[in-house]
Structure 1
């Protein structure tokens, strides 16, 4: 049997192109699964803020990249900073800012989301969040103790890392995970997820550096991020004040019975007097989709 170098080269080239194409498609699929909101924004498919929020619009320059957002200022009150889900325009939280008036609200879209420039990655999302937080705290005359970080779904991964780098007054995590990598392995055990999911969002590794009080709200019927991930994260955080599982799934946490009262209490920070009791908002009061 003779060795035909030309045929071997032709065969190798054909196989090589297939590997590159299929490998590229897998990477693209992984990017879509982690950051679907960025792809949806490209085609204008992501629901944004209602028109009345336009007067609160802000834009922040981080290393030459403009990030779009909203700052609903309420001087003298704590600042709630919201980090949304991976298929969420932060502007859809507008109804929540009216429901929870004990706080000012800052909501900034990740790179590639809404009208924010650039493309998201774990490193950029966390770096942007820290930069914007530092700037707004300084501009509004607050201290970090006046800040409540609120992270939902993939935003919990951002919020935990920001809390580990700064010392906010409180950290509130909604339907959080201990590690995005761990969730991905459960969802697709047949795929090389460690290679595909470069943005692992290892909240479990950052947890020990979070010293502020933490409030965790999970969904007992959550099939996107099953509640055991929230339980694992809670076991690693040194200062968990409240852990509660509501009778809800992943995307309807804000509508769950009892959530309004728990969230309202979680948003209060030290030194802020408790407002007069108000009627609890029941199920279906606001619709905020996480993913």
Structure 2
């Protein structure tokens, strides 16, 4: 009987380790859903824009779309860090929320997304965000730059705001940390041990001096609303805008979102 129990323990342990190894090696495919575009691709957005390719080195290019405003006098700039899907084309329509209020919007694709190339990693995401910020500071004062992070981009925007000044940090459907978010799906696995992507938003927020606004819907099925409440609990200065019945991808359809964003952009 003891031998059978021991045998089963060994089998279960082997299965546990094997599944953990699989999770480790496929983590990027689970976390990122990019759609690459050829360098020859011609963007056709519905509003004025400028395409910039920042050649970091022979292997790495950061593709940036600058959505411009009609008025030559701009109120400021929004650095928009998008979610984990597709590429800039999937998020371009959101630029209207800002350009209609006099703010230029810069969206950069992550490595492997759109026309951006190079190797993706947590540190690469932070480094690319820093380069984008440095480009922005050549044209805009720090008190006219808004850092906006949506979903995956919320941790990136929070990290940047923790080390550089800005007018405001805005997070849409943010996670407490990527470890805590992924643990919802990996259950019995110590995700912080096997993951290369931690993005501890809650830690970065401790160092943010600027005003922080968080938008989150109560019906978010991807990043549960409790993540926003946990961020708020740890950082009382956060302005949490709760969107009742809001989901992960439709917050900009709600009056509470539109009204609060209008106030931020005044």
RMSD of aligned C-alpha atoms?
Answer: 2.6
Structure-2 residue corresponding to 1:58: 52
Partner of 1:120: 120
In structure 2, what is the equivalent of residue 202 of structure 1? Answer: 200
CA distances 1:87-132 after superposition (whole Å, capped 9, x unpaired): 1412333222234322110100011111100132111101110111
Could you tell me which of 147, 152, 167 is aligned with 2:165? Answer: 167
Which of the numbers 23, 28, 34 marks the counterpart of 1:26?
A: 23
Secondary structure of the corresponding residue to residue 126 of structure 1 = helix
3-state DSSP of counterpart to 1:190: coil
Do the aligned partners of 2:223 and 2:248 also contact (CA within 8 Å) in 1?
yes
Work out the number of aligned pairs and report it. Answer: 243
Partner deviation per Cα, 1:170-217 (whole Å, 9 max, x = no partner): 011000011110111122113342233211100111111001001110
**1:237 corresponds to:** 235
Over 3 Å counting, the alpha-carbon distance change for 1:129 and 1:199 in structure 2 is same
Larger radius of gyration: 1
Aligned to 2:182: 184
Contact 1:49–1:93, Cα closer than 8 Å, also in 2: no
Where in structure 1 are there 5+ consecutive unaligned residues?
Answer: 1-17, 269-273, 275-291
The answer for the alignment partner of 1:7 in structure 2 is none
1:43-89 per-position Cα deviation (integer Å, ceiling 9, x unaligned): x8xxx964456852111233552111211234432101100111141
Per the alignment, residue 7 of structure 2 pairs with: none
Partners of 1:19 and 1:243 in 2: CA distance = 40
SS across alignment from 1:157: helix
Asked if 1:68 is matched to 2:63, the reply is yes
Q: Distance in 2 between matches of 1:209 and 1:143?
A: 20
Q: Is the 8 A contact 1:83 1:150 kept in 2?
A: yes
Pick one of 243, 249, 252 that aligns with 2:250: 252
SS in 2 for 1:58: strand
Cα gap change, 1:25/1:50 in structure 2, threshold over 3 Å: closer, same or farther?
farther
1:259-274 correspondence runs (5 A)? 259-266=257-264, 268=265, 274=266
CA distance in 2 between partners of 1:199 and 1:210 (Å): 21
The 5-angstrom pairing of residues 69-108 of structure 1 reads: 69-74=64-69, 75-100=73-98, 101-102=100-101, 103-108=103-108
Match of 1:41 among 36, 55, 64: 36
TM-score by length of 1: 0.75
2:219 matches 1:221: yes
> Following TM superposition, by how much is the alpha carbon of 1:243 offset from its aligned partner in structure 2, in angstroms?
3.1
The 1:25–1:56 alpha-carbon spacing in structure 2 relative to 1, beyond 3 Å, is same
Q: Which runs of 5+ in 2 are unaligned?
A: 1-14
Query: The residue matched to 1:172 in structure 2 has which SS?
Result: strand
TM-score computed with the length of structure 2 as normaliser: 0.81
The 3-state SS of whatever aligns with 1:41 is coil
CA distance in 2, matches of 1:220, 1:67: 35
